[in-house]
Amino acid sequence: MVASSMPTITSTSLRIGELAALTGTTPRTIRYYEEIGLLARGDRPKGKHRLYRESDVRRLVELTRLRDLLGLSLEELRRLLEAEEARDELRRAWRQSPVAQERLRIVDEALRHLSRQLRLVRRRRRQLERLEADLSESRRVALARRRELRS
Amino acid sequence: MVASSMPTITSTSLRIGELAALTGTTPRTIRYYEEIGLLARGDRPKGKHRLYRESDVRRLVELTRLRDLLGLSLEELRRLLEAEEARDELRRAWRQSPVAQERLRIVDEALRHLSRQLRLVRRRRRQLERLEADLSESRRVALARRRELRS
DNA sequence: TTGCTCCTCACGTCACGTGAGGTGGC
DNA sequence: TTGCTCCTCACGTCACGTGAGGTGGC
């Protein structure tokens, strides 16, 4: 009873419904993202259940976050994250290559990518701040009017 | 030559293409919003051109802003703005009714509505700020790594 | 084994995009 | 009048939602 059938190879193995619940999305969305190539296929005999790991949770959270908060189409999202996939590739290469020259190139690539996302996020935040300021101003006016009516 | 054919009744009269350009959207979107009742029909002999005024520009800008920045569906948007239309109704009533009691009710209604929108906007802004903080942190780590590599 | 979740089509829906063919005129 | 923009269908597309009918088992 102590040693179960087989040792788990992957960290935590999730089914599609569990991944969906953890990321606040739906199985259908996950299958669709796989279909259009936003999520990896993960070699699996056709008809059998999909299995996911911790890294898939992080990936999907990032996807939905950028999608919702930046309002990107899935095509734009794909282009934005292609760079990131290349970065992951490089990160793997990083461990193999302790050559400083090479490592510097990898870090610079990552920095360019992060800067691009930060620019998009900041622009959005400024737009939201402007909307919030406009609404606050309207409220300020309404509050003043109410005070006047009450006096 | 001084007195042209007829005096313009509406402030500025815009065609659908001009309204679209001013609001950063498309004629098709405007027609669709009219179709589903987000924009007024504006009595017009069927087949003839639609004409818009300054107030339509403001309305459409508000619509697209809330749609894009809050990520609302058009159904949610409609519900959010139904209150606002009621508010416009009341605003017209305002001018007729100088009864303080009635005016107070109108202002309170407006305030509740503004607060609701502000809550949505602020929640969004906090989410964006969290995303921005996460990205900034990643960049900080990458920058530190680069400094180390360069030394 | 039973009951849940999963599987793959496949059609439906929302929010428009994109012609096609025709008419209007701030 | 000519050329632009507008008009109304109507079909296409993106990003999924929603069954239907069947199979799998972290």
For residues A24 and A10, the answer to whether their CB atoms sit within 8 Å is no
pLDDT at A147: 94
Evaluate if residue B72 carries a pLDDT over 50: yes
Evaluate if residue B6 carries a pLDDT over 50: no
Return the sign of the alpha-carbon dihedral for residues B112, A124, B58, B34. Answer: negative
pLDDT at B11: 62
A91 against A120, higher pLDDT = A120
Least confident of A8-12, B78-82, B122-126, B146-150: A8-12
Mean of the per-residue pLDDT values for chain A? 88
pLDDT, one tens digit per residue, over B89-112 is 777 777 777 788 888 888 898 899
A141 against B82, higher pLDDT = A141
Evaluate if residue A43 carries a pLDDT over 50: yes
Integer CA distances (angstroms), A150 to A40, A136, B95, B100, in order = 63, 21, 18, 8
Q: Which residues of A touch B124 (CB under 8 A)?
A: 69, 128
Protein residue at shortest CA distance from C1' of C4: A17
pLDDT, one tens digit per residue, over A86-107 is 767 777 777 777 788 888 888 8
Angle, helices B54-70 vs B16-23, to 10°: value is 40
CB-proximal positions of chain C, under 7 Å:
5-8, 14-18, 23-26
Evaluate if residue A9 carries a pLDDT over 50: no
Protein residue at shortest CA distance from C1' of C5: A17
pLDDT at A106: 83
